[in-house]
């Protein structure tokens, strides 16, 4: 192939200019488009087909004769263009062409479904009916996307061609969106990237999916789109030179091997380049794989795999491959039929280049999806992945009687039986196994995000980390630097990556904490003359009924084992004898006025109502309030400091200074108020502040210290500082606020705390 680089669409110039033809010119233009359609359809025409297509064209032309598009052009040019996409880009045949020509007639003109059935038969009438059902739901306001998706999926029980024609219709609308008002552009573009692009991907229409994403980005993120498009245009000559240099030695090898082939470079889509720029936080110039080299072989069916691997071998003999970037979809095709070998190799000038290897049959399936799949399947009665997929859809639909959002939620997992497709907050699609959770999604983005995940928002609604994801979900991961993986996380994930990273993190964390425990134990044994020996460690392992010395050290460090009793151990030579633990007396610092704590009273009661009170300070690192699980810590110079058990410093204090820790609990005292804070997230609505303050000050009579609300894109985020007497009162307030309409999350956060003594 002579041209070294192929650009799928011109990314900068609009497809249409303002329409200015007179009536005679318009008729000629319509006939010209119609004849072009017939030429494309010619290889598929059988006896009588041409007359049926002509009949459909005339019916549509007459029905739409008074109608014009926003560009000013005759409306009939739209159904002709949709039919052309069906034939040329999706590979559909005569009946689909007729349906495409008629797809808007029942909805927009006086023609009825009965008229279509009478002229063209039941099969075509059912497809037109399916297309009409989808169109009718586009402009509804309630659960628009959910209802729209439902209507699309329902048509699968009748004929999958409905979806393919609808995708062609959407593609042409996106190509001609320049003439719409901006708010309409944004609405259609967002719906396209949300519903239609993933649908095209699932139907195997990769080129259409890519173009839909690019065109959506053109209107939703126009500045970024134009910048990348301009840079692609500016670098086209340079890329062409580089591709020619890259493919020259490969061509020589392919020619020497007598392969029948095409080879060319294709730019990555603007949308995928933009995703890479955002994901990796790099500039356009730093995105190394701006294009892919595609090798298409003309091989007989029985030699397809063999030839693809031979070519792979030739390419990797010439250029060093990146082993982790090999994608083998020959051995195990994707569930939508996609087959190919992908590899990334180090090309000239130290640049990574992606190379895709496939045969003409595979390429047609990759470009034309389902239609090509059925073409190559003729004569083969085996049920394949597409057939299984449709069977599952029919099964779910046959028992599904709910509507709207309920239908969508129940249906999505079955719709994508083998993988699910979910979205990042920026709209990037992620493919995960069915049954994946928010935690799987977090690890799929990055292991550092996974290990710090504390929750997620699905469609802006807060969900736990174990929430099972469904296709179409848009997920935002919430992280905290305080979060660490725990053992039960392994029951919350299905992906191998997540499981391995959790196990690694648990092992590393346990070893790290155990080191502290080992040091504490060593110091404690030495303090009364016992050796830190293998025998003594084994004695302690048995005494505390743990599995290993690692577990012993870990439990000592996490305060699950209390070593204060070790001072009562007996020494027998170099061995220790461990008696039953005895209660010990707790000592408070001399500068604190305190009540005596006997062996029988090992808990210090603070905020008691007797005159005999304890002087204390509340830790600034965790701001406890009455009702929190707390411990006292004897701090040098500060007296007794009260910490929450889940304080970020608790592990370190308990592990290293166990002898200075005092068991502590609260006594009820309604005379003292404590300042604490709440973070509230919800829908931005008129009167939302009034509703919140009514609950706090009016209903619960809690004093407000401060309130701030920030609104953005229909949501608000607020912080409220309030004085409460105890945790019970705070929890009541949280529950009352959560019950308000539009409030999504109410969470406690740390703030400066004041208290009485």
User: What integer pLDDT is reported at residue 386 of this predicted model?
Assistant: 56
Q: Would you say residue 513 has pLDDT above 50?
A: yes
Active-site hit among 29, 49, 88, 108: 108
pLDDT digits (tens, 9 = 90+) for 576-634: 665 544 333 333 333 333 333 333 333 455 543 333 456 677 887 777 878 777 778 87
382 has catalytic annotation = no
- Please give the model's pTM, rounded to 2 decimal places: 0.52
Contact 360, 296 (CB under 8 A): yes
Q: What integer pLDDT is reported at residue 14 of this predicted model?
A: 39
Mean pLDDT of 635-644: 74
List, for residues 417-462, the tens digit of each pLDDT value. Answer: 356 778 888 877 777 777 889 999 999 888 889 999 988 999 888 8
| CATH number among 1.20.810.10, 1.10.3210.10, 3.30.70.2740, 3.90.1200.10, domain 23-175 | 1.10.3210.10
Task: Give the pLDDT of residue 85.
Answer: 92
DSSP 113-180: HHHHHHHH-HHHHHHHHHHHHHHHTTT-STTHHHHHHHHHHHGGGT-THHHHHHHHHHHHHHHTGGGS
What kind and span of H or E run contains 346? Answer: strand 341-346
The CATH homologous superfamily for domain 233-377 is Beta Polymerase, domain 2 (3.30.460.10)
Overall average pLDDT of the 633-653 stretch: 70
Check residue 72 and give its pLDDT.
Answer: 80
Q: Write down the pLDDT at residue 240.
A: 86
Does the pLDDT value for residue 640 go beyond 90? no
Question: Is 108 a residue of the active site?
Answer: yes
Topology agreement, domain 23-175 and domain 674-749: no
Q: Is the pLDDT of residue 296 over 90?
A: yes
∠ at Cα 476 (471, 482), nearest 5°? 135
Let me know: does 167 contact 199? Beta carbons within 8 Å. yes
**Position 9 confidence tier, pLDDT thresholds 50, 70, 90:** very low
Tell me if 668 sits within 8 A of 684, measured CB to CB: no
Tell me what the mean pLDDT of segment 197-216 comes to: 84
Mean pLDDT of the chain: 76
Residue 298 in this model has a pLDDT that exceeds 80: yes
How many CB atoms sit inside 10 A of residue 269's CB? Answer: 22
pLDDT in tens, 567-576: 666 666 556 6
Note whether 453 and 438 are within 8 A (CB).
yes
pLDDT digits (tens, 9 = 90+) for 285-294: 777 667 789 9
Cβ partners under 8 Å of residue 694, min gap 6: none
Residue showing tokens 């709209």: 427
Tokens encoding 508: 């590393």
Range from 16-25, 137-146, 175-184 carrying the lowest mean pLDDT: 137-146
CATH topology of domain 674-749: Alpha-Beta Plaits (3.30.70)
State the Cα–Cα distance between residues 444 and 434, nearest whole angstrom.
14
Say which of 26, 29, 49, 107 is annotated catalytic: 107
The domains of the chain are located at 23-175, 233-377, 503-577, 604-666, 674-749
């Amino acid at each position: 192939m002579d041209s070294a680089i192929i650009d799928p669409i011109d990314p900068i110039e609009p497809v249409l200019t303002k329409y200015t033809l007179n009536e005679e010119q318009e008729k000629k233009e319509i006939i010209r488009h119609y004849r072009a359609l017939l030429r494309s359809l010619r290889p598929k025409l059988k006896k009588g087909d041409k007359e049926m297509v002509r009949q459909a064209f005339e019916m549509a032309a007459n029905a739409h004769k008074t109608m014009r598009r926003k560009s000013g052009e005759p409306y009939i040019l739209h159904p002709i263009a949709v039919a052309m996409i069906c034939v040329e880009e999706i590979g559909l045949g005569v009946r689909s062409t007729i349906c495409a020509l008629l797809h808007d007639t029942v909805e927009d003109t006086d023609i009825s479904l009965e008229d279509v059935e009478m002229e063209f038969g039941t099969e075509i009438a059912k497809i037109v009916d399916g297309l009409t059902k989808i169109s009718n739901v586009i402009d509804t306001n309630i659960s628009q996307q959910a209802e729209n998706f439902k209507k699309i999926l329902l048509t699968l029980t009748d004929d999958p061609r409905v979806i393919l024609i609808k995708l062609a219709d959407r593609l042409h609308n996106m190509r001609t969106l320049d003439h719409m008002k901006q708010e309409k552009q944004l609405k259609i573009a967002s719906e396209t990237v949300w519903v239609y692009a993933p649908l095209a991907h699932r139907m195997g229409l990769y080129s259409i999916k890519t173009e839909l994403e690019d065109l959506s980005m053109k209107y939703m993120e126009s500045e970024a789109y134009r910048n990348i498009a301009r840079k692609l245009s500016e670098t086209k000559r340079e890329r062409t030179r580089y591709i020619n240099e890259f493919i020259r030695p490969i061509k020589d090898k392919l020619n020497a091997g007598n392969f029948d082939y095409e080879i060319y470079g294709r730019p990555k889509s603007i949308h995928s380049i933009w995703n890479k720029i955002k994901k990796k936080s790099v500039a356009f110039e730093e995105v190394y794989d701006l294009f892919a080299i595609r090798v298409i072989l003309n091989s007989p069916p029985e030699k397809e795999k063999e030839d693809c691997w031979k070519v792979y071998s030739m390419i990797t003999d010439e250029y060093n491959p990146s082993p982790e970037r090999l994608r083998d979809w020959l051995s195990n095709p994707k569930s939508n039929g996609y087959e190919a070998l992908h590899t990334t190799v180090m090309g000239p000038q130290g640049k990574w280049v992606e190379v895709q290897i496939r045969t003409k049959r595979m390429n047609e399936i990759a470009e034309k999806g389902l239609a090509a799949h059925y073409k190559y399947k003729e004569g083969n009665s085996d049920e394949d992945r597409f057939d299984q997929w449709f069977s599952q859809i029919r099964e779910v639909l046959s028992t599904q009687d709910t509507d709207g959002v309920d239908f969508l939620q129940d249906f999505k997992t079955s719709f994508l039986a083998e993988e699910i497709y979910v979205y990042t907050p920026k709209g990037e699609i992620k493919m995960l196994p069915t049954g994946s959770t928010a935690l799987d999604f977090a690890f799929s983005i990055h292991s550092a995000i996974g290990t710090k995940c504390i929750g997620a928002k699905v469609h802006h609604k807060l969900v736990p980390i174990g929430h099972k994801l469904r296709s179409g979900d848009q997920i935002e991961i919430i992280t905290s630097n305080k979060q660490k993986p725990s053992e039960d996380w392994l029951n919350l994930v299905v992906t191998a990556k997540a499981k391995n990273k959790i196990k690694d993190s648990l092992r590393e964390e346990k070893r790290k904490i155990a080191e502290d425990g080992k040091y504490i134990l060593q110091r404690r044994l030495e303090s009364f003359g016992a050796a830190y020996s293998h025998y003594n460690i084994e004695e302690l392992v048995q005494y505390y009924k743990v599995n290993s010395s690692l577990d012993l050290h870990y439990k000592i460090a996490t305060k699950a084992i209390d070593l204060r009793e070790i001072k009562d151990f007996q020494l027998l030579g170099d061995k220790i004898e461990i008696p039953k633990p005895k209660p010990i007396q707790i000592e408070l610092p001399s500068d604190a006025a305190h009540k005596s704590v006997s062996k029988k009273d090992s808990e210090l009661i603070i905020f008691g109502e007797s005159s005999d009170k304890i002087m204390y300070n509340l830790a600034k690192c965790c701001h406890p309030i009455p009702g929190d699980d707390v411990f006292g810590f004897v701090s040098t110079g500060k007296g007794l400091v009260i910490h929450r058990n889940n304080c970020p410093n608790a592990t370190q204090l308990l592990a290293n200074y166990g002898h200075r820790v005092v068991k502590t609990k609260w006594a009820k005292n309604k005379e003292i108020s404590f300042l604490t804070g709440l973070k509230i997230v919800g829908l931005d609505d008129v009167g939302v502040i009034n509703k919140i303050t009514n609950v706090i000050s009016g209903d619960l009579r809690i004093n407000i210290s401060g309130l701030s609300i920030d609104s953005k894109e229909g949501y608000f985020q607020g912080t409220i500082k309030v004085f409460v007497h105890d945790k019970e009162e705070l929890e009541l307030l949280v529950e009352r606020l959560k019950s308000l309409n539009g409030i999504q999350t109410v969470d406690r956060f740390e703030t400066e705390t004041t208290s009485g003594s």
